[in-house]
């Protein structure tokens, strides 16, 4: 019976992902729909595995005997999930430690870390209370007004606690990379994260200035250097971000936004514990 539960959860998760389409519309709607498609299937599998482990390898459920194979399978999955989480946490800790070795400077009245490199970089480093890290190349390339737009964008990442939430989303991505469309949905979430921070920055500074900053990074970044500035970005995402900045945002009513209550369905497997004897 437990094995049937696991197979059912995996089948539902794969079907949801396989038939998933990248949503269209403004970033508010795209964010809600993409987050559901990305997070709900892994959450359903994880909750099913958790319920199987809680029920144990002995007893009956619905008149059917349970075996040790499904229990062991669920235990391996949860153990793998936790090991990957510890690995990502260790990598994040090393990144934060490396960032804290950079000297602190005062920039626009804020304490930031200075990365001594010619590449253009700006990003939040940390977990719940991240620190802003900017590169020497960025300070030398951008004018004060363009630099202000970059700082406003990074404040948007701080406001939405992107470093915290995307650590957990990255954990889910690593554990369920085998599910269909994981990478496509992950890239969409990364794009929407930047659009959300752009939208926040556009409420603080001139959107046109931020759009100009995007182009300045692309044209002034040293040849051969990866454009790793979290605030600016480049490549095939550049056009989409500039277009969003120059286009007036569409009003989105609360009724259009997806309710978080739908995620409660992923916890339904936990109810099966009461039927285990």
Say which residue the tokens 């482990």 belong to: 53
Q: For position 164, what pLDDT does the model report?
A: 93
Any idea what the Cα angle at residue 62 is, between residues 59 and 65, rounded to 5°?
35
- Over residues 122-139, the pLDDT tens digits come to 889 888 889 999 989 889
The per-residue pLDDT for 62 is 55
Q: Which residues of the chain have pLDDT under 70?
A: 1, 23, 25, 57-67, 221-236, 249-259, 274-277
Q: Over the stretch 247-263, which tens digit does the pLDDT of each residue have?
A: 876 655 454 445 677 88
Burial grade of 19 (CB within 10 A; 0-12, 13-18, 19 or more): exposed
Q: What is the pLDDT of residue 186?
A: 93
pLDDT tens readout for residues 156-203 = 999 999 999 999 999 999 999 999 999 999 999 999 999 999 999 998
Asked if 134 and 115 count as a contact pair (C-beta separation under 8 A), the reply is yes
Assigned token pair, 105:
């400077």
Q: What is the pLDDT of residue 250?
A: 64
Tokens representing 181 are 């469309």
Q: What is the pLDDT of residue 86?
A: 94
Measured CA to CA, the distance from residue 244 to residue 194 in angstroms comes to 11
Measured torsion, CA atoms of residues 146, 151, 156, 162, in degrees rounded to the nearest 10: 120
State the CB neighbour count (10 A cutoff) for residue 258: 15
Q: How far apart are CA 18 and CA 12, in angstroms?
A: 10
- pLDDT score recorded for residue 52: 83
Phi-psi category of residue 136: left, alpha or beta, with phi > 0 → left and psi -120 to 50 → alpha: alpha
CA–CA–CA angle 228, 195, 124 (5° rounding): 45
Q: What is the pLDDT at residue 231?
A: 43
Closest CA to 104 of 129, 134, 75: 134
Query: Phi/psi of residue 20, each to 5°?
Result: -75, 140
Q: What is the C-alpha end-to-end distance of the chain, expressed in Å?
A: 12
C-alpha to C-alpha distance for 13 and 9, rounded to whole angstroms:
6
């Amino acid at each position: 019976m437990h094995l049937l539960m696991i197979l059912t959860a995996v089948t539902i998760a794969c079907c949801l992902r396989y038939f998933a389409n990248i949503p269209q519309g403004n970033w508010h709607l795209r964010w809600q729909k993409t987050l559901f498609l990305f997070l709900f299937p892994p959450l359903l599998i994880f909750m099913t595995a958790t319920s199987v482990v809680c029920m144990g390898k002995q007893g009956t459920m619905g008149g059917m005997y349970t075996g040790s194979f499904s229990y062991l399978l669920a235990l391996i999955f949860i153990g793998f999930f936790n090991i990957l989480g510890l690995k990502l946490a260790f990598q994040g800790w090393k990144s934060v430690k490396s960032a804290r070795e950079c000297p602190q400077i005062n920039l626009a009245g804020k304490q930031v870390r200075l990365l001594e490199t010619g590449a253009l970089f700006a990003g939040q480093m940390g977990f719940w209370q991240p620190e802003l890290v900017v590169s020497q190349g960025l300070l030398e390339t951008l004018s004060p007004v363009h630099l202000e737009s970059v700082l406003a964008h990074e404040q948007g990442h701080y406001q939405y606690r992107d470093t915290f939430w995307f650590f957990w989303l990255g954990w889910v991505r690593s554990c369920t990379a085998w599910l269909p469309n994981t990478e496509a949905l992950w890239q969409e979430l990364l794009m929407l994260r930047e659009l959300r921070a752009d939208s926040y920055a556009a409420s603080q500074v001139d959107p046109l200035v931020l759009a100009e900053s995007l182009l300045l990074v692309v044209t002034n970044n040293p040849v051969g250097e990866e454009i790793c500035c979290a605030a600016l970005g480049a490549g095939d995402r550049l056009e989409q971000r500039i277009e969003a900045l120059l286009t007036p945002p569409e009003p989105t009513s609360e009724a259009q936004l997806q309710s978080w209550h739908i995620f409660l369905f992923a916890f339904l497997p936990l109810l099966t514990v009461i039927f285990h004897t």
